[in-house]
Amino acid sequence: MNILVTGGAGYIGSHTCVALLKAGHCIVVADNLSNSREETLEKVRLITGKDFPFYLVDVAEEKQTDKIFRENKIEGLIHFAGYKSVAESVEKPLDYYYNNLLSTIALCRACIRHGIGKFVFSSSATVYGENAVPLKEEMELKPANPYGATKAMSERILSDTAVAHHGFAVSLLRYFNPVGAHPSGLIGESSRGIPNNLMPCITQVALGKIERLKIFGNDYPTPDGTGVRDYIHVVDLALGHVAAIEKLESGVDVYNLGTGRGTSVMELVNTFQRVTGVMVPYEITGRRPGDIAECYADKRKAERELAWKAERSIEDMCRDAWRFENS
């Protein structure tokens, strides 16, 4: 299958490109490099020994996107491109609604125009908001921040499009907290500017590039007071996308991609220190707007229907993230 990967130079996108190529698929990558680097794609080529076309485009711009479909025989699409910080979305909601919704709409329209029938969407567990854990696919969506709202609305846009166009099949992948890196150490989480996610902050502190880790809140109703999340190895997550697009045939499917186990911020910090032998100085600060206490998956549907399961441990995530930072 020839698959268009939007945001393919990003963290999850690049690992999914590797997984797709290793599974025998062909890919076309589209990315505007606003939060990624083109050299990441060179490393994908190095890991896999395979080449692929890259388009430096903003997929929210329909004329730019249409060119990709005209020049390539696209058979399916995996859509990662979008802004992704909960905290930033609270500060800049209009940027998030504009970018994330327009890109989804533009890609939907392109797929319908060009007869593309398989669309896998990179959604997020933030769509659940303050629901009881473990989070299940059939729960009412209660996004607690603009980022989560853009994901929930994008899901609705895609679902409504699939109802209106019966040849258009959609898989909505709600995943949790990607962590780790490719075991080669060549690709990993490397955003532009100051990192927003926990693991790159931990590794940057361990390297001495940041003085200390900020832990946002230790007064949550959790065992140690710090937020609990379902951390999933990015390689496992990438393999989930391959399973989803290979299985996709008709209608709309919704899957949680997670481990089903919650790990607190302090647990992750302590595991990193134990696995690497490197201390991570930290300080407790106030809670961030839009954060919730606990978030972890009911993973049974994906295991049952996609024959997919997260295999890698928290220790693997810490070890691989540290290898990437030191490579």
CB atoms within 10 A of CB 1: 14
Identified catalytic residue from 11, 147, 231, 255: 147
The 294-295 sheet, strands edge to edge: 263-264, 228-229, 294-295
d(CA 319, CA 277): 11
CA atoms of 313 and 270, how far apart (whole Å): 14
User: Is 147 annotated in the active site?
Assistant: yes
Burial class (CB in 10 A: 0-12, 13-18, 19+), 208: exposed
The b-or-e profile of 72-99 (16+ CB within 10 A means b, else e) is bebbbbbbbbbbbbbebbbeeeeebbeb
Bridge pairing between strands 213-216 and 26-31: unpaired
- Please return the burial class of 274, using the count of CB atoms within 10 Å of its CB with bins 0-12, 13-18 and 19+: exposed
Query: Cα–Cα distance between 22 and 61 in angstroms, integer?
Result: 30
- Gap between the Cα atoms of 100 and 112, Å rounded: 19
**Contact yes or no for 19/241 (Cβ under 8 A):** yes
User: Which letter, b or e, does each residue of 5-32 get, where b requires 16 or more Cβ atoms within 10 Å of its Cβ?
Assistant: bbbbbbbbbbbbbbbbbeeebbbbbbbb
Burial class of residue 318 in the structure, from the number of CB atoms within 10 Å of its CB (0-12 exposed, 13-18 middle, 19+ buried): buried
Alpha helices in 165-254 (DSSP H): 198-206, 234-247
Which run of H or of E encompasses 320? helix 314-325
Active-site residue set: 147
